[in-house]
A = this chain, B = another copy of it.
Amino acid sequence: MRKETLERVRRFTDEREWDQFHSPENLAKSIVIEAAELLECFQWNGGEYDMQHVKEELADVLVYSYNLLDKLGLDVDEIVNMKMSLNEEKYPVAKAKGNATKYNQL
């Protein structure tokens, strides 16, 4: 996300004085609520979906995720790189390549 986009997200909350509702717990609830609305786009027929609806719900997941990063003083690149290091170790290419059972029973 570009700096100006992130600043717009922050200004939205600031101008409405909504930071008071943005406890880490409330933001975690909000992320799962929006993620479920995103899943709803694929509820009965996973192969057909309304792209505008998908865009809006995915944007909501991202906005709340960046809100939570801000709230906890976290850096997106730092935590994603930390997690990718864990993932790379957990799923070595040699074992994981093309493996459908991947995440679960590797």
Contact = CB atoms under 8 A, between A and B. Distances in A.
B26 A33 contact: no
Interface residues of A, number: 72
Interface string A30-69: 1111011111111111110101001110111111010011
Chain A residues touching B, majority SS: helix
Given A35-B61, A83-B55, A42 B24 contact: yes
A86 B63 CA distance: 13
A1 B45 contact: no
Nearest to A56: B83
A100 B58 CA distance: 24
A40 B103 CA distance: 10
Interface of A: 1-2, 5, 8-9, 12, 15-18, 20-21, 23-26, 28-33, 35-47, 49, 51, 54-56, 58-63, 65, 68-69, 72, 74, 76-77, 79-84, 86-88, 91, 93, 96-100, 102-104
